Amino acid sequence: MSSASHEDRVFPTYPRVGVGVVLLRGKNVLLVKRGHEPAKGEWSIPGGLIHLGEGAEDAAHRELMEECGIRADIKKVIDIFELIEQKDVSEIKYHFVVIEFLAHYIGGVVKAASDAEEAGWFSLQDIDGMSCSNKVKELVRLAMNM
């Protein structure tokens, strides 16, 4: 997520709205290794925050290009979920509302950029052994069964 500084995301005064893109190329999905919290060092679906005045689908295209150098055909929304992490009872450390899109690869050579440490194409079998959240695995399975 690259549209706001990391400091703006921690202990927010309101929820941050972002997008994720489950990008398929044949039987493989594009994943990025996160360079920043939350979930630094884990494999994730590419995405980021929506800029003020930017449509969600436009944000999805921009984030794919910024993080991975990839162009995609955005198909449809496949999930909307919240990520809320509390520091303690009275403080919210993170609060994201994420719109997840299904997309198909059009072109570009994968290269990690922006806040992604690594990026690559992975099969469902690869993902089962990787350090990524159950939500990532659930979204990839959902997309591959559509």
Q: What is the number of domains present in the chain? A: 1
Write the pLDDT tens digit of every residue in 36-77.
Answer: 877 889 999 999 999 999 999 999 999 999 999 999 999 999
Range of the domain at 26: 6-144
Per the domain annotation, does 1 fall within a domain? no
71 found inside a domain: yes
Q: Is residue 53 part of a domain?
A: yes
CATH number of the domain residue 44 falls in: 3.90.79.10
pLDDT for 36 equals: 83
* Reported pTM: 0.88
Render 22-37 in DSSP notation, one character per residue.
EEEETTEEEEEEESSS
Which of the residues in the chain have pLDDT under 70?
Answer: 1-9
